[in-house]
Amino acid sequence: MMRLPALGERVLLVIAAVALIAWCLLVIVVALGYTGQSTGATWLARLGLLAGGGIITSGFVRMGTSAWRRAIARPLPAGRSSRWLARQPAWRLAVGCWVLYGAPELGTGLWLSYRSHQAVASPPHIASLVSSVAAACVVALLLRVLWQRQAQNALARPI
């Protein structure tokens, strides 16, 4: 029986595809932006950069997919904290991830701007706030999907 992916899994797949496309565009821009001593040397180096980028990209994609498959194949750990976190709503996980990872960086930036007597709400601070909130939401979504799949595996295994 084939299991259809949930909405969170589809969102994570779209995020992974966008990141892969951005990485490939970066490799292409770096390779085509290279200029050498002569035309032949330039194109040879560009082809080498593109081949190296392709090999690195395919290796990362294979490692990422195999790590994801291994992670979702395991059952949810038996510890109390793992099961408690798996039962939390996604918004609470996102707030927790942001408090752990984004808030200290934002607080340090605000403190440094206060100490140097600069404007508190400068564009870099706003961009940092928005990007840290977005990153926390993606991490919470990733953990939520992973824990849901692991909880389903734990229920499906015979005792």
- What is the pTM for the complete model shown? 0.75
Query: Looking at the domain assignment, is residue 2 inside a domain?
Result: no
Same domain for 108 and 49, yes or no, is no
Work out the angle at residue 75's Cα, subtended by the Cα atoms of residues 69 and 80, and round it to the nearest 5 degrees.
Answer: 135
Query: Looking at the domain assignment, is residue 109 inside a domain?
Result: yes
Q: What are the tens digits of pLDDT across the range 98-155?
A: 888 777 777 777 777 777 776 666 777 778 778 888 989 999 999 898 888 888 876 7
Quick count: other Cβ atoms within 10 Å of Cβ 120?
A: 9
Q: Which two tokens stand for residue 106?
A: 């934002």
Same domain for 27 and 97, yes or no, is no
Residue that finishes a domain, picked among 73, 93, 113: 73
Same domain for 121 and 69, yes or no, is no
Residue range of the domain that includes 131 = 78-159
Residue of 100, 81, 83 whose CA lies nearest to 139: 100
d(CA 56, CA 59): 5
Mean pLDDT for the stretch of residues 27-32: 92
Same domain for 117 and 82, yes or no, is yes
Alpha-helical regions (H) of 1-122? 7-33, 39-73, 80-87, 90-97, 103-115
Same domain for 90 and 122, yes or no, is yes
Residue that finishes a domain, picked among 24, 51, 73: 73
Same domain for 68 and 90, yes or no, is no
Residue that finishes a domain, picked among 73, 92, 115: 73
Same domain for 152 and 107, yes or no, is yes
- Which residues neighbour 136 within 8 Å (Cβ) at sequence distance 6 or greater? 94, 95, 97, 98, 101, 102
